[in-house]
Amino acid sequence: MKHVSLIQFLIEERRAGRVNAELSLLIEVVARACKRIAVATNKGAIGGVLGEAGTGNIQGEAQKKLDVISNEILLEANAWGGQLAACASEEMEDPQPIPDMYPKGHHLLLFDPLDGSSNIDVNISVGTIFSVLRCPDGVTEPTAEHFQQKGTTQLAAGYVVYGPATVLVLTFGHGTHEFTLDREVGSFILSRRDIRIPEETGEFAINMSNQRHWEAPMQRYIGELLAGLDGPRGRDFNMRWVASMVADVHRIITRGGVFFYPLDAKIRSKGGKLRLMYEANPMAFIIEQAGGAASTGRERILDLQPTGLHQRVPVFLGSKKEIDIVTHYHREADGAQG
Ligand code: AFP
């Protein structure tokens, strides 16, 4: 079988008029940075990269050393390339401008440099999630406000899972594609083109320890799945929860399933657990491009008008039929209340 590298794939996409040269170069730079994060992650304890950094991020969460290292790798790699007007990250309160000594480009990059970082110390898959937006015309010093664009405006989105293999999943809005890192050669190789998520599934992912805090429609939906063969759904469902969104989403991209981080009483005041701009939006774009659905339980994620760079939202994504059912339960409950 003839291998197609990420670079070849990007050239083909350019020739087909689906990606411009600047965006294609930006993705190459991000992919190169992620290869460096993969190397750092793979070193584990002998690289001195495990454990706490002793700092907190903007959301008051303790940072792991690898959170900080991955953030620096992505910032450094992207500063000089000339494709970006600014970067924003989970680890920084405000967007980072491109230093004056480097040329500026027309894109905005958002990322969660190391998603699932509480799993690093136990050697479970972690990942990087990113989203690319166009910098509004005429804006030379982008602020948080310029990043607050609806998910439907994303030009590209992707994630990299640092697991048994390092895998990049990417979309430009023309399907979702997977690339596997060939470590010896140092290249990402196309391993699945045009991924399709099955519409139906028998597998769900949720942190069940929060069950007592969920809203009534969520209790109803999960209750029905747990009731199995004898319940209203008439079949048994299986459950998985890695607690690294990238790993849970990658399983869904591979064999179907649904992932939920719903609103619950503990996080209601924050709006949810997961971040809209660099977790929910890119994952929603990837999932929709693979034939799945992504919702807050009430609205399509990609249609949300962001109100803050670090805004949190409930996330429901995966096989379309299940997302439709659980969204219907939420709307029905809202209608009954209203
Ligand atoms: P960390 O990056 O702090 O480990 O959080 C991971 C995450 O944002 C997402 O990747 C998981 O799906 C989710 O949080 C896990 O949350 P719980 O620990 O509440 O199950």
> Is there an atom of ligand 1 within 6 Å of 58 CB?
no
pLDDT tens track for 21-69: 999 999 999 999 999 999 999 988 777 777 777 776 666 676 778 888 9
* β-pairing verdict for 84-89 and 107-115: parallel
pLDDT tens track for 177-189: 999 999 999 999 9
Reply yes or no on whether the pLDDT at 125 is more than 70: yes
Q: Which residues contact 338 (CB under 8 A, 6 or more apart)?
A: none
Distance 138 CA to ligand 1 centre (A): 37
- Give the pLDDT band (50/70/90) at residue 17: very high
> Is there an atom of ligand 1 within 6 Å of 295 CB?
no
Q: Average model confidence (pLDDT) for the chain?
A: 94
pLDDT tens track for 196-234: 999 889 999 999 999 999 999 999 999 999 999 999 999
Which burial class, exposed, middle or buried, applies to 252 when counting CB atoms under 10 A from its CB (0-12, 13-18, 19+)? Answer: buried
pLDDT of amino acid 44: 80
Residue corresponding to tokens 């719903």: 262
pLDDT of amino acid 64: 77
pLDDT of amino acid 2: 83
> Is there an atom of ligand 1 within 6 Å of 244 CB?
yes
Probe ligand 1: pick from 273, 310, 312, 317, max atoms within 8 Å of CB? 273
For residue 76, how far is the Cα from the chain centroid? 21
Starting at the earlier edge strand, list the strands of the sheet with 166-171: 96-97, 84-89, 107-115, 126-134, 156-162, 166-171, 176-182, 187-192
pLDDT of amino acid 81: 85
Give the residues across from 189 on adjacent strands: 5, 180
Distance CA 99, CA 295 (A): 37
In SS3 terms, the chain reads as CCCCEHHHHHHHHHHCCCCCHHHHHHHHHHHHHHHHHHHHHHHHHHHCCCCEEEEECCCCCEEEHHHHHHHHHHHHHHHCCCCEEEEEECCCCCCEECCCCCCCCCEEEEEEEEECHHHHHHCCCEEEEEEEEECCCCCCCCCHHHHCCCHHHCCEEEEEEECCCEEEEEECCCCEEEEEEECCCCEEEEEECCCCCCCCCCEEECCHHHHHHECHHHHHHHHHHHHHHHCCCCCCCEECCCCCHHHHHHHHHHHCCEEEECCECCCHHHCCCEEHHHHHHHHHHHHHHCCCEEECCCCEHHHCCCCCCCCEECEEEECHHHHHHHHHHHHHHHHHHC
Relative to the CA of 241, which ligand 1 atom is closest?
20
Reply yes or no on whether the pLDDT at 145 is more than 90: yes
Distance 226 CA to ligand 1 centre (A): 23
pLDDT of amino acid 338: 55
Average pLDDT over every residue of 88-103: 92
> Is there an atom of ligand 1 within 6 Å of 59 CB?
no
pLDDT of amino acid 59: 67
pLDDT of amino acid 232: 97
